[in-house]
Amino acid sequence: MAIDLVIFDCDGVLVDSEPITTRLLIDHARRLGLELDVEDALLRWKGGRLADVVAEIEERLGRSVPETFALDFRAELVVRMAEEVQAVPGILDVLDQLTYPACVASNGPRAKMNASLGATGMLERFEGRIFSAYEVGTFKPEPGLFLHAAEALGALPSRCVVIEDSVGGVTAGIAAGMAVYAYATDEHGEAMADAGATLFHAMAELPALLGSHAAS
């Protein structure tokens, strides 16, 4: 089956940003008097929306966070991304070998993607092919973001391949009628497989997987 488009998630697939994001959220929650466990938060919030995380923080606090909480967090996060984020190990080699059209589709805002992709030298690779759920108006696990990316780039959903690392992302890709390959590095692996993804555990495996998919 020919591949029209490879759709990469951003956080955790292209850039190793999840720990930075989670630790900063925990710092902001701590300033409000709430102590959270880093490892638990990494698993619970992976691939999620900030609005849902804020709602959980408010529930645990028993009160609303300040009105500027999200804006303050996002502003600091962009700075942290530009200063600290690293590319996921092996992804630059994958992109160098990639022979299929590719794009990025993320639940994150564009400013965050611009900062993280820019800091890791990947922004120019995807210029004009970056899709944010905030701009499209639909978030994973709904399929709309992936379907929008496919339509915008003239690709048939059935000939798109999604590269994800969260259950919500896998669910969105499967619902969009796309093949999904999931980068499994934590306890989410089994759940992603149950959601319909084919798992892989190192980026070096991905070019061969895509080649096999295209030849099937």
Owner of token pair 């994958």: 94
Token digits for 131? 């899709």
Measured CA to CA, the distance from residue 150 to residue 145 in angstroms comes to: 9
- Number of Cβ atoms within 10 Å of the Cβ of 70: 15
Which residue among 4, 9, 165, 186 is the active-site one? 9
Q: What size, in residues, is the chain?
A: 216
Contact partners, residue 155, CB within 8 Å, separation at least 6: 4, 5, 101, 149
Question: How far is it, in rounded angstroms, from Cα 212 to Cα 137?
Answer: 34
Catalytic residue check, 9: yes
The answer to whether 213 touches 161, Cβ cutoff 8 Å, is: yes
Active site residues: 9
